[in-house]
Amino acid sequence: MESVPPKVTVVVPTYNERDSLPKIVGLLAALGIPNMHVLVVDDNSPDGTGEVADKLGIDGPIPVGVLHRTVKDGLGRAYVAGMSRALAEGADIVIQMDADLSHPCEAIPRMLETLGTTDAAVVLGSRYVTGGAVAADWPWYRKALSAWANFYVNAILRLRVKDATAGFKAWHADTLRAIDVDGVQSNGYAFQVEMNYRTVRQGLRIAEVPIRFEERTDGVSKMSLAVQLESALVPWKLRFSGDTPRPSRVRG
């Protein structure tokens, strides 16, 4: 009797991504990964992204589910809602990635292989391990800000992760349960840091595989001042929360 491949659910939050969403679903389908599903978490996009997602759910090249949310309350909240739905629907592996084509779909097979053949609890698509890179058209100040953010987070939280703010990750479902994803409080890009911190705090292993991060090709960036302020404050909040990380090893 043939074993059923693990259910892989790719959680993709969207807000005004009607042009990029069909492209990313097509790229995911082209990977040919068995039992892969996409879960779009749309925050009531005024450009009709939710309707595009619904259509993909009917005639898309791979199974596409849609979680329609009535409010736009941040990337972190959208990911928590999507990951919780994915777990409830029986996902064995949950991949989180942005809808703006900045995360390379072609890295997913290596991420899944690393997750399946090592004892890593989560695999990050990393810009800052050997072989990784950021977009060539990033201006110097964006590169400097990103490098500073990683230094800043690691100095405060001692995560020992090269790309502490990475948003492209493959999780074992059991890892998400162990870190209580429903209890994550941070929003925006600080969400990524809190997820890593909770993983390290549990003594679980983080692996990183290299990716080339591209600049978004459609739409506009959603990095607001409020998001930047939260990203600066959350590491200190976590550091003084009274929780001490257990010893862990980070696999590069």
Q: Give the pLDDT confidence of 33-57 residue by residue, as tens digits.
A: 999 999 999 999 999 999 999 999 9
Identify whether the C-beta of residue 11 lies closer than 8 Å to the C-beta of residue 37. no
Interior CA angle at 129 toward 108 and 160, to 5°?
105
Confidence of residue 251 (pLDDT cuts 50, 70, 90): very low
Identify whether the C-beta of residue 147 lies closer than 8 Å to the C-beta of residue 163. no
DSSP state, residue 212: B
In the chain, the percentage of residues whose pLDDT exceeds 90 is 60
Residue 60 pLDDT exceeds 50: yes
- The DSSP element (H or E) to which 209 belongs, if any, is strand 206-210
Average pLDDT for 208-236: 61
Residue 23 pLDDT exceeds 80: yes
Identify whether the C-beta of residue 41 lies closer than 8 Å to the C-beta of residue 48. no
**What whole-number distance in Å separates Cα of residue 8 and Cα of residue 240?**
35
The CATH homologous superfamily to which domain 8-251 belongs is Spore Coat Polysaccharide Biosynthesis Protein SpsA; Chain A (3.90.550.10)
Structure tokens that stand for 7 in this block: 């259910």
Burial of 2 per CB tally in 10 Å (0-12, 13-18, 19+) = exposed
